[in-house]
Structure 1
Amino acid sequence: MKIMQVEVKAGRAESEAAQAIVLLHCEGEGLGKQDAAVIDKGLGGALRELLQTREFEGKPHETLVFHSQGKIPAKRIVLVGLGEKKELTLDAIRQALGYAVKRVRQCKADSFTVIAPQVAPRGHSLTEMAQAMAEGAILGSYQFTAYRSDNSPGKDMAAMTVLTSQKATVRQLTEGVRRGVATAEAATFVRDLCNHPSNVMTPSRIATEAKSIAKEENIALKILEQKDMEQLGMGALLGVARGSQEPPKFIILEYNGARKKDERPVVLVGKTITFDTGGISLKPAENMEHMKADMTGGAEVLASIRAASRLKLPIRLVSILPVAENMPGGKAMKPGDIVKTLAGKTVEVQNTDAEGRLILADGLAYAQRYNPVALIDIATLTGACVVALGQFAIGMFGTDNRLKEQLRKSGFKSGERVWEMPLWDEYFEQLRSDVADMRNIGGRGGGMITAALFLSKFVGNCPWAHIDIASTDWSERERAYVPKGPTGIGTRLLLQYLIDRSL
């Protein structure tokens, strides 16, 4: 998908010659004395009349298109509701722009101007508000058309202009747009990777994507092949990959934008199963096609390091991707098999469909080599997460309170909220094996918790957080800025955390 161009400029709304002008409006509020009022004057009071007759009220998700009939330079006015002013959040603005861009597209326009609110939501800066605006518009315009013979079901949105009447705010708004374009671009990149079918997006193709990202500024790449993994002793990852004709990959990308040479890195580890049949413990056929997105975590750490480079964040960042395909071939790992991990611990595999934690075990153990200041893994790990949290919350576990609080705050800013679950040692009783150090499943009860507890045995003493995105990585319906299918949710959470850490 081609990313729309977003710019900020100072100017007068009533003089803006745009295909459409988007006005964001809070429920129960008047037009005030600023841009909306000036536009309304040019339209002979038409907007005020719409509010008075309650044809438009400013409720959340509400939109209305008004044609100017040549009374002002702009062809159309698109009114978009924000809900009540006292409850206004960054995500309400993000959602409003998502709905706005869809409404503009319905009008057969390919560009628009949005009037920047003069006040940000309580507790947030104009920069953060502009970031949310850019994110909402770009994410809301997303379409995946690579395999359509008719090319596109709707017109691509080419450009958005954020217009402010206050020249003093241009710098803040521009910085916000810069961040918003980078984070939204990262999320759309993840959606694209996960939308490609698994016969295209193989472990080798993931390696090709990593090589492309390594061309970005200050990024270095290392790819371990199967023989390298065998020499290192990555028995868990190799066990998962045994049933597939596709050779596994172990990808390490390093970005260094730090001001200090000896700065410890943040390390991200992403589950990258390019397709998950469940292996010998075969999944049901229904919805198995969704498993092309079981590589979402890996796609997100790939996108995060590219965005960190493009934003020139002053940090060290390492992205690790253990990559494999989980298939039920003649050489496939079987229930009852025992594998030896890179950390030296042995695991009795009682269910081959609990493969994500196995490849992450080797990824997390490898991450210890970097002495990370923070270690975060992200994965479509457990169906239990979907049962526990539904589709609007990301499961979070961790060993470091400061890291968890930082992720919680970044989650609220990004609109990709996390919810902490317990990580208590008592649950490890469910993972005890009669023949190995541990087994890879702990039964039905607390499945999300036992999976996280399994991972915790491979993270050493560094600050660690585990993010389970299995509840949010796929959407059954289209929402404001979330498409049907792969969502890319988790990408902006990671990037917001990295941005906040850099400030």
Structure 2
Amino acid sequence: MGAVLTVEELPQQGDRVVFVRKGEFSMPGVPPEEFDGAKLATLLWREAQGRTVYVGLGDGPVTADLLRKAAGTGVKLLRKLGGEEIHLDCTAYPEWAGVAVEGALLASYRFEDFRMPESRSKTMLRTLTAAVGKADSGKVRAEVERSVILAEAVNYVRQIGNQPANVVTPAVLAEKARELAAEWRLSCTILGPKELEEGGFGGILAVGKGSDNPPRLIVLEHRPTDAPPVVVVGKAVTFDSGGISIKPGEHMDEMKFDKMGGCAVLGILLAASRLRLPVPLVGVVASAENMPSARAYRPGDVIRSFGGKTIEVLNTDAEGRILLADAIGYAVERFAPRVLFDLATLTGACIVALGRNRAGVFSPDPLLRDRLWQLGEEAGDPVWPLPLGEEFGEAIRSDVALVKNVSGAREGGASVGAAFLQHWVGKIPWVHLDIAGPAWVNRELPYLEKGVTGCGVRLLIRYLLSLATQEPRS
């Protein structure tokens, strides 16, 4: 991707995306039944000076996410036609020029690493221009610059996340974290098998035992001040076969996406550093490959996690919470967070409850939970509150250990997973995000192709930006 520019007026030459309210479009030779500005409807118009894609906004309220989707829709169409220099007409909506640019950049991403040369895109988006009229150009430009950083961080996550398990192993993910740290002024610590053994990380080691690709714990730190940090913990299972409790074959190929919580953490640290946020931030990624073998952990095993808490394993396919137990326990002890978030493709039950568009959000703090709910709507990274409660904790009470890793019943599976994690959080303010539904998509969306979405990055960066307004600058 080349330059992103903000200008007052829409250039007369080149490919353009123009947003149209329903009922406000009129052009000789175009009947209303062909195009009337209905929501996300498109009309491609060719003239000597270039192509224009008109994108409908409908007749309802115009929101930030609608502009994000409309920009993505228009840019995706022009990119399929080979457009390399695209102009967005944001003159009627300058306050949302940033989200329009975000949608455009997300729509321009393609994962083509394994396509044959003849089937790859022949062009790239070289210039994106947002026309914003007479708006406060300094403020709008700052919003656009922030949106560029956010979109590029999401696309970075998508690029790693779409890689197959034979390319991205725990060791490779750790190396990518090292490269990220070196480029963007982050400190990086990697714990390999020896350090995990010495540190008492029984959960991560157990999950990774069945694989020839040993696990890693990855720690990235953005430290503008010495204040207690926000900590973001991510699950990164680079492939999840289910282990001894093996999954059905159907859709098992999608389990290369079980690393998306951890990949999102990398993207959040990337964006925080590029934005120079004054908020101290630590990312902790627990990465393993869950495979069946003679060495694999088994149903009936009892694991001693970091810090000594014990887990009875009833199902080796509920491995993500075991990884997170170690990572959360370590993060709480090592960093004493001001607030802790975890992101994980944790449960199919969350998809059953909420579908694929929304992540489940869990927190014992209703104000914090509702804040994330609100920010998710603004960010186009929506979440929906799901309950915590004593009944879910009782469902995983073990006869032989502190907890068992599944309840054995079908009811409330997403809440049971959250209740399990709560044992390792203690009294730290905490939010659990179950991103199993929206972490990847199986169909094209207005600004997303099939594959990884980067879910969680835009949401948590918006939260960090809201904290940044309260932080003293050093």
Same fold (TM over 0.5): yes
1:101 aligns with 2:75: yes
CA drift at 1:23: 1.0
1:210 alignment partner, one of 173, 177, 195: 177
1:486 alignment partner, one of 452, 461, 466: 452
Letter in 2 for 1:103: L
Q: How does 1:148-159 map to 2 (within 5 A)?
A: 148-150=115-117, 152-153=120-121, 155-159=123-127
Letter in 1 for 2:21: C
Which residue number in structure 1 is paired with residue 441 of structure 2? 475
Residues 378 and 17 of structure 1: CA distance in aligned 2, closer, same or farther (over 3 Å)? same
Superposed CA deviations along residues 305-360 of structure 1, whole A, max 9, x for unmatched, are: 01110011111000000111101011100000000011311111000000000000
Contact kept, 8 Å, 2:189 with 2:220, in 1: the verdict is: yes
Contact kept, 8 Å, 2:97 with 2:132, in 1: the verdict is: no
Which residue number in structure 2 is paired with residue 64 of structure 1? 43
Q: How does 1:367-386 map to 2 (within 5 A)?
A: 367-368=331-332, 369-386=334-351
Partners in 2 of 1:465 and 1:88 — Cα distance? 30
Partners in 2 of 1:227 and 1:482 — Cα distance? 40
CA drift at 1:374: 1.0
DSSP-derived class of the 1:228 partner: helix
Superposed CA deviations along residues 202-222 of structure 1, whole A, max 9, x for unmatched, are: 111101111111124441111
CA drift at 1:49: 3.2
CA drift at 1:402: 2.9
Partners in 2 of 1:148 and 1:397 — Cα distance? 39
1:461 alignment partner, one of 417, 422, 427: 427
1:114 alignment partner, one of 62, 73, 88: 88
Instruction: Name the Cα RMSD after superposition.
Output: 1.6
1:19 alignment partner, one of 14, 19, 24: 14
Partners in 2 of 1:53 and 1:383 — Cα distance? 44
1:179 aligns with 2:146: yes
1:190 aligns with 2:166: no
CA drift at 1:154: 5.9
1:78 aligns with 2:46: no
If the length of structure 1 is used for normalisation, what is the TM-score? 0.89
Partners in 2 of 1:463 and 1:188 — Cα distance? 29
Contact kept, 8 Å, 1:4 with 1:138, in 2: the verdict is: no
1:87 aligns with 2:82: no
1:163 aligns with 2:131: yes
CA drift at 1:80: 0.8
Contact kept, 8 Å, 1:275 with 1:295, in 2: the verdict is: yes
DSSP-derived class of the 1:22 partner: strand
Contact kept, 8 Å, 2:91 with 2:131, in 1: the verdict is: no
Contact kept, 8 Å, 1:240 with 1:332, in 2: the verdict is: yes
Contact kept, 8 Å, 2:91 with 2:133, in 1: the verdict is: no
Letter in 2 for 1:157: L
Partners in 2 of 1:63 and 1:406 — Cα distance? 35
Partners in 2 of 1:277 and 1:217 — Cα distance? 34
If the length of structure 2 is used for normalisation, what is the TM-score? 0.95
Partners in 2 of 1:308 and 1:48 — Cα distance? 45
Superposed CA deviations along residues 63-99 of structure 1, whole A, max 9, x for unmatched, are: 111122x3xxx31222111112x41111100000111
Superposed CA deviations along residues 424-466 of structure 1, whole A, max 9, x for unmatched, are: 0122221011211110001211110100000000001110000
Unaligned runs of 5+ in 1: 31-46, 121-125
Contact kept, 8 Å, 1:130 with 1:180, in 2: the verdict is: no
1:363 aligns with 2:358: no
Residues 153 and 285 of structure 1: CA distance in aligned 2, closer, same or farther (over 3 Å)? farther
Aligned-pair identity (%): 40
Which residue number in structure 2 is paired with residue 415 of structure 1? 380
Unaligned runs of 5+ in 2: 470-474
DSSP-derived class of the 1:214 partner: helix
1:424 aligns with 2:389: yes
Partners in 2 of 1:405 and 1:53 — Cα distance? 42
1:224 alignment partner, one of 191, 201, 209: 191
